[in-house]
Each structure stands twice: as C-alpha cells, then as structure tokens.
C-alpha cells in the first residue's frame, strides 16, 4: 500500500561474506540493479514478500515495465534510469501531467515499527523527487496499521514515527509545500475510509489478503484506511496520483484502483447497440462492425441481425464470447449497429443523471440507467463524466498510479531484514557502525583475487554494488557505471571496493544525522502531532 513495511525473511547467510557466491542468471553488462532475490513470487503486504524474477510480475499481475515510460518522464530520477524502479501501473498519466504542468500528486507512507533504514530511503527519495518535480507531495505515518496489524504500543509508534519524519525531512522533504500526517489524526482520511468500506466486502478481503475468521476487525479496518490514504490527495480535486511502493504492496494498489472505479457516479465504455457488452467482449464486436462491408445491405447503416448472421459463421477461439454476442445481436434485430460511447449510471444521484443528460451534446439516446452519445469520443466522455460528477457532489477519482522498486539485498545476503541488524544499515546507525557493516558485507566477488581479475566480479549479484546503484553514487550515473564496469572487467577487487563504499556510507550517515539534528529543533513548528495520548484496552 502506501507504506514500506518492516519485513523479515529466513534467508541464508554466509560464514565468509567476502567469497560467497549465489547462483543466479547472468545479468546485463550495464550499471543497473539486477532483479532476483529469493524463492517464489508472493505478494503479501504484511508478510515476507519475495520475488525470484521481477519479470514474472509483468505477466502474473499486469505490472508494466517502467522502461516503456522512461522517455516520457521529465528528468527521470536515477532510480528510474538504473532500473531500480522497474515497473508501474498507469504512470503515463502522471508523467503526462508532469510534462504539461497539470495538477498531480505523489503519496507514500511508512509503518513506524522500527528504525528507518536505507531500504526506506528509496521511498523517501521517490516522494521528495516527485515533490521537486512539481507534484503535491504527501507522506504519512501508518500508525493505525502499526497498532492493529503489528500490535505496537502507541508509545513505541510515537518514537518510531518521530524517527521516520526526521529522516524524511533531513533528506529534503519540504513540509511547507507538502503534507505530513498520521492516519490516527486525519479525520478526512477516516471519513473517506468509512465511505470506501461501503464498497468493500469480506469475501474480497479473503481473496486478496487471505483474511479469515481469526482476523480481527481493526486489521480489516486498517485496509480501508490504507485505501483512503491512497485516494486522499484527490479529495480536493481529481488528479493523477502516484504511489511509490515495493511490489509486495501491489495487492493494495489493485484494490484501491477497483474501489476508485466503484465510487464513480458513471462508468464510461464503448458500445455498438442498445444491449450491454462487457469491456472484454468489445474487441470482437468492434471487429464485427469493421467487416460491415461484407454483410450489410447498407454499410453506412448495418443492422444487428445482419451482423449476427456474419458473426455466427466467423471463426474465432472466443466461442463463449461469440455466442453471447450473436444472441445479443439477434435480439436487437433491425436496430442499427453504430459505434457510440456509453455513460452507465453506477452511483449517480437523480440530479447528477439529469445533469449528465443535459451536458451531452449532439445526438444521444437516453435509457433507464445509461446514456449513449454518438458524437463524442471516449476521452471527451471520460472528462465530461468526471466534471458532472464533481459538480454534483461526487469524488470523480482518477485511478491511482503506482511505481515499483526492487527490494534491496541484505548486506549478509538474502533479504534485507529489520530483525537482522547486520543485514541493513539504519539511518540512525553511528557512522562508524555503518562503515563496519559495509566492510563486513557479502560481495559478488570470486574466490581469489587472481580469479576476480581473470573472470571479473558479479556486480549484478553484489549487495555492495547495490549500495552504489541505490544510494552511494547518487545522481552520478558515470560513477555508478564506472564501479560496475571495473567490477565485471576484473579491475576492481572487493577489498578496495568495500573500503570506498564504507567511507561513502559513513560520510552519508554523518551528513544525514547532522541534518536530522537540525530538524529535531524545529519539529514543534510542523503541523503533525508526534506525541499521542491514546487510551489502550486494559488501561
């Protein structure tokens, strides 16, 4: 969803981190972070999500490759350029608004259950970059979820929330231009969650999240609260909104997009006759219309029964779709087969439906629960439907977009885990401790220096190279590429590479913590309450 959870995984570690090797497919010879982590593709927002091959997500879950929109994104962030941000859902809408100067927003959040670490820094950076690109930026503390799903006390949550906020500010988030909030303190989010809950049901929670009779109600409530977080930037006006997350949060994104659609007053689709056709069947109906020269006595005005006769003899693998369409076309009889856009009444008030009828220009036909417009394309119809909805008290939500970044490999190999201190570097770590952790990290090096010089290192499988690609090289692609090419070319040995990375990490932590200290003195000036006084059951 909107947060980066603390995830634990029982991943293998090595006794000799400098010489360990992990069998993985060969990577490309470019300065990009590689994909694979562990066993299988499982997307669990609260579990220990793992991805063995990020390409599986494109086919299994419909996540699109980010490279397809990279050229359309103004001044892309280095995480985008290096393939660390590898996938998206509908980011093109955000990139277009960004380029055109239209309103848009970015939101992500953090479940305050432990120290913020370098894995969380990726999401901080993504929110900050989107803010710098001109978007309305939102950052939230998912404290209700931390309390309900992880069982943390409010005192613990307050402490961790403070640490997350300080790191976010130290990295460059502008609290004057953006919005910081806690779920528990935001009444608008809670009210929206209540409304969204009307459109959700328990069977969906079972199917999406595996909830059962043992799942407590507060955990379920935290889900609709997360949905409200995702849609919160659109309360004032509908606009493209991107949610940067890890792929384990994709179930939340799919559910939020569904709920955004269900809340709409009108559904806009294409149609060719008065009978209803689901979106998935439109392709075959469109093809039938496009062949009208072959069967219509008057191709300028083909009849549905003529189209039914042609389609009945048409060879296609979509047998069930074909049968349903033939039946619908025969029932329509002499009705003309004509392309049109259709406004379907989903949740509209009577006043909104009447306003829509009035707003549709040109030839139209009005039915009990839909309006067909014959002189309007789909894009214009979508815009009109949203305008009428908002003018009549509806939300008009734009389906939220998302971008997905790769999981960072733990410094000891396997998954980075908050419960294994040596596997990650906390943003609160003493610079010397950060230095030592990098020096002790697993690498993608060979067994010996001689073998390294001969065969080259495996940068694509190296947690230390990931530190360069994800953090230490910053915006300097030339430096990241240099480290990569020297490694795979055998010029760079692990000892010197780790020493350089350790020094850079210590410098980063020292600078970061100085900035945290500066912000600590100004926290009281911010519009966010980091000291709650909540009653707890049993008190």
169's CB contacts (< 8 A; 6+ apart) are 175, 515, 516, 519
Distance of alpha carbon 71 from alpha carbon 74, whole angstroms: 8
Distance of alpha carbon 115 from alpha carbon 499, whole angstroms: 25
Q: Where is 466: in which H helix or E strand?
A: helix 463-467
DSSP state of 144: H
Q: What confidence score (pLDDT) does residue 420 get? A: 76
Q: What confidence score (pLDDT) does residue 107 get? A: 98
The answer to whether the CB of 494 falls within 8 A of the CB of 457 is: yes
The answer to whether the CB of 336 falls within 8 A of the CB of 374 is: no
Q: For the purposes of burial, counting CB atoms within 10 Å of the CB of 453, is it exposed (0-12), middle (13-18) or buried (19 or more)?
A: middle
Per the confidence metrics, is the pTM higher than 0.75? yes
SS3 readout for 206-237: HHHHCCCCCCCHHHHHHHHHHHHHHHHHHCCC
Q: What are 271-318's pLDDT values in tens digits?
A: 999 998 888 899 999 999 999 999 999 999 999 999 999 999 999 999
**Sign of the alpha-carbon torsion through 131, 229, 215, 254:** negative
C-beta neighbour count of 462 within 10 angstroms? 27
- To 10 degrees, what angle do helices 378-391 and 350-359 make? 140
Q: Where are the domains of the chain?
A: 47-263+399-405, 266-391, 421-525
The answer to whether the CB of 404 falls within 8 A of the CB of 246 is: yes
- Please give the mean pLDDT across all residues of the chain: 87
Dihedral class, residue 283 (left if φ above 0, else alpha if ψ from -120 to 50, else beta) = alpha
Distance of alpha carbon 482 from alpha carbon 411, whole angstroms: 21
Q: Token digits for 318?
A: 């979509």
Distance of alpha carbon 137 from alpha carbon 107, whole angstroms: 6
Q: What confidence score (pLDDT) does residue 149 get? A: 81
Write down how long the chain is: 539
C-beta neighbour count of 3 within 10 angstroms? 27
Q: What confidence score (pLDDT) does residue 205 get? A: 85
Distance of alpha carbon 195 from alpha carbon 461, whole angstroms: 46
Of the candidates 29, 35, 25, the one whose C-alpha atom is nearest the C-alpha of residue 456 is 29
Distance of alpha carbon 35 from alpha carbon 24, whole angstroms: 10
Q: What confidence score (pLDDT) does residue 356 get? A: 98
422's CB contacts (< 8 A; 6+ apart) are 411, 412, 437, 440
Distance of alpha carbon 234 from alpha carbon 241, whole angstroms: 8
Q: Token digits for 364?
A: 């139209």
Q: What are 150-160's pLDDT values in tens digits?
A: 888 999 999 99
Q: Which residues of the chain fall below pLDDT 50?
A: 4-30, 33-49, 538-539
Instruction: Specify the CATH superfamily of domain 47-263+399-405.
Output: HUPs (3.40.50.620)
CATH topology of domain 421-525: Tyrosyl-Transfer RNA Synthetase (1.10.240)
**Sign of the alpha-carbon torsion through 138, 144, 147, 153:** positive
Q: Token digits for 513?
A: 């913590």
* Segments of 152-227 assigned E as strands: 179-182
């Amino acid at each position: 969803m909107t947060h980066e959870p603390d995830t634990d995984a029982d991943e293998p570690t090595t006794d000799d981190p400098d010489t360990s090797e992990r069998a993985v497919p060969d990577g490309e010879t470019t300065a990009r972070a590689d994909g694979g982590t562990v066993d299988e593709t499982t997307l669990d927002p609260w579990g220990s999500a793992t991805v063995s091959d990020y390409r599986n997500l494109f086919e299994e879950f419909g996540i699109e490759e980010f490279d397809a929109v990279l050229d359309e994104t103004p001044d892309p962030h280095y995480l985008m350029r290096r393939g660390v941000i590898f996938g998206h859902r509908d980011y093109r809408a955000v990139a277009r608004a960004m380029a055109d100067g239209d309103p848009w927003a970015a939101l992500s959040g953090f479940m305050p259950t432990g120290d913020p670490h370098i894995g969380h820094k990726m999401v901080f950076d993504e929110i900050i970059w989107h803010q710098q690109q001109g978007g309305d930026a939102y950052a939230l503390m998912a404290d209700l979820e931390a309390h309900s799903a992880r069982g943390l006390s409010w005192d613990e949550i307050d402490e961790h929330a403070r640490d997350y906020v300080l790191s976010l500010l130290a990295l460059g988030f502008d609290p004057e231009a953006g919005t910081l909030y806690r779920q528990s303190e935001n009444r608008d989010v809670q009210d929206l969650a209540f409304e969204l809950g009307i459109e959700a049901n328990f069977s969906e929670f079972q199917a999406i999240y595996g909830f059962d009779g043992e799942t407590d109600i507060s955990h379920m409530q935290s889900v609709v609260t997360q949905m409200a977080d995702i849609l919160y930037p659109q309360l004032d006006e509908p606009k493209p909104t991107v949610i940067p997350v890890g792929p384990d949060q994709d179930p939340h994104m799919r559910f939020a997009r569904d709920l955004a659609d269900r809340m709409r007053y009108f559904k806009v689709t294409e149609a060719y006759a008065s009978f209803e056709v689901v979106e998935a069947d439109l392709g075959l109906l469109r093809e039938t219309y496009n062949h009208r020269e072959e069967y219509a006595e008057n191709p300028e005005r083909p009849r549905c029964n003529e189209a039914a006769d042609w389609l009945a003899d048409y060879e296609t693998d979509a047998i069930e779709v074909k049968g349903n369409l033939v039946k619908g076309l025969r029932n329509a009889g002499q009705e003309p087969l004509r392309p049109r856009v259709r406004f379907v009444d989903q949740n509209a008030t009577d006043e909104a439906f009447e306003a829509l009828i009035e707003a549709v220009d040109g030839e139209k036909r009005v039915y009990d629960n839909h309006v067909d417009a014959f002189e309007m394309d789909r894009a214009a119809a979508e815009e009109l439907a949203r305008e009428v909805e908002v003018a009549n008290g509806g939300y008009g939500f734009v389906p939220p977009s998302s971008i997905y970044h790769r999981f960072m490999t733990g410094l000891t190999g396997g998954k980075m885990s908050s419960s294994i201190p040596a596997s990650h570097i906390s943003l609160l770590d003493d610079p010397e401790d950060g230095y030592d952790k990098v020096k002790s990290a697993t690498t993608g090096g060979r067994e010996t220096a001689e073998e390294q010089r001969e065969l080259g290192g495996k940068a694509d499988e190296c947690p230390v190279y990931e530190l360069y690609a994800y953090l230490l090289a910053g915006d300097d692609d030339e430096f990241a590429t240099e480290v990569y090419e020297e490694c795979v070319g055998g010029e760079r040995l692990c000892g010197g590479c780790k020493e350089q990375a350790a020094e850079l990490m210590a410098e980063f932590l020292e600078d970061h913590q100085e900035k945290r200290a500066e912000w600590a003195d100004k926290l009281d000036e911010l519009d966010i309450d980091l000291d709650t006084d909540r009653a707890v059951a049993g008190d």
